[in-house]
Amino acid sequence: MEIGIIGLGSMGREMARNLVAAGHTVTGWNRSGGHIDGVRMVEAPVLALQADMALTMLSDDGAIRSVLMDTNLLPRARPGLVHVVASTISVAFARELVELHRAAGVAYVAAPVLGRPDVAAKGELNVLAAGAPAALERVKPALDVISKRVWDMGEEPPTAYAAKIACNMMITMAIEAMAEAVVLTETNGLSRERFFELILGTLFGSRPYQTYSRNIIDNEYQPGFKASLGLKDLRLASEAAEQVGRTLPMLAVVHGRMNETVDAGMGDRDWSAMAALTVDP
């Protein structure tokens, strides 16, 4: 399959490498340039749209709007292209993208992912896919390469982004829960390591608890997923709740806590650094 990739940051690079290794022909465009073995780099994003499938992995709504919409690239895409947007974007912007793709005659598949760059490198992302069944079927061979599972989120692309935003919201709630639990246990003489051995072996053994408990134990928050990006996703969750007239109290707490983390100068550290505000104030 001929695949164009727009956005070759820490996640997009790993996706591109795996697609090349699987035998796909990959063309890439990146705002800051760069080189990836096996990927034909092009000077304009419209050239990445001249393929069977284009995968966009830009950072946010604004980046996608700037690269693809403000320059009116979609009508210049190769006929029959399926455009897969793997970025985490707002539900409102996803609805706008549905209409823009329909007007341009380009099939649109939402495919935000669960997983950090190390997971992407292994081709073990969880892909939350939504779109027309025929379009999903066409791109599934490529999505299978980058994932350990493609989860069917239905036919409406905005649904997939709502699910992704909800997942990230729940991870930050887990980080804050662990931090507050450490306050209770450590101040009463139980080490972090022993406490987390207990919870990982009993109640909470999922990957977020495994990954972020180690960061809290070591008080080490090297970036895997930056706090600044976590703050963006929590903002998207807050906006989505406001749009349907609902109040989510726990979301308000972790959104505020992540904002404090970024304000404290930790925006480039891992988003689990928010735990440090509670555990090591």
Instruction: Write out pLDDT tens, residues 116-142.
Output: 999 999 999 999 999 999 999 999 999
- Average pLDDT for 28-42: 93
Length in residues, the chain: 281
- CA 229, 230, 233, 235 dihedral sign is negative
Distance CA 90, CA 66 (A): 15
Measure CA 32 to chain center: 20
Per CATH, the homologous superfamily of domain 161-279 is N-(1-d-carboxylethyl)-l-norvaline Dehydrogenase; domain 2 (1.10.1040.10)
All structural domains of the chain with their residue ranges = 2-155, 161-279
Convert the pLDDT of each residue in 63-102 to its tens digit.
999 999 999 999 999 999 999 999 999 999 999 999 999 9
Convert the pLDDT of each residue in 169-201 to its tens digit.
999 999 999 999 999 999 999 999 999 999 999
pLDDT at 178: 98
Distance CA 261, CA 276 (A): 9
pLDDT band at 58 (very low <50, low <70, confident <90, very high): very high
Work out the mean pLDDT of the chain and round it to a whole number. Answer: 97
Structure tokens belonging to residue 237: 């969750």
Query: Are 251 and 169 a contacting pair, CB within 8 Å?
Result: yes
Per CATH, the homologous superfamily of domain 2-155 is NAD(P)-binding Rossmann-like Domain (3.40.50.720)
The residue type at 87: S
Whether residue 34 is predicted with pLDDT greater than 90 in this model: the reply is no
Distance CA 195, CA 229 (A): 29
pLDDT at 44: 96
Q: Look at strands 113-114 and 125-129 and give their pairing.
A: antiparallel
Whether residue 33 is predicted with pLDDT greater than 90 in this model: the reply is no
pLDDT at 280: 86
Instruction: Indicate if 164 belongs to the active site.
Output: yes
Convert the pLDDT of each residue in 226-269 to its tens digit.
999 999 999 999 999 999 999 999 999 999 999 999 999 999 99
Residue tagged 């284009």 (tokens): 54
Cα Rg, the chain, nearest whole Å: 20
pLDDT at 233: 97
Whether residue 281 is predicted with pLDDT greater than 90 in this model: the reply is no
Q: What are phi and psi of 87, to 5 degrees?
A: -65, 160
- Average pLDDT for 41-50: 97
- The proportion of the chain whose per-residue pLDDT surpasses 90, expressed as a percent, equals 96
Catalytic residue among 122, 140, 164, 226: 164
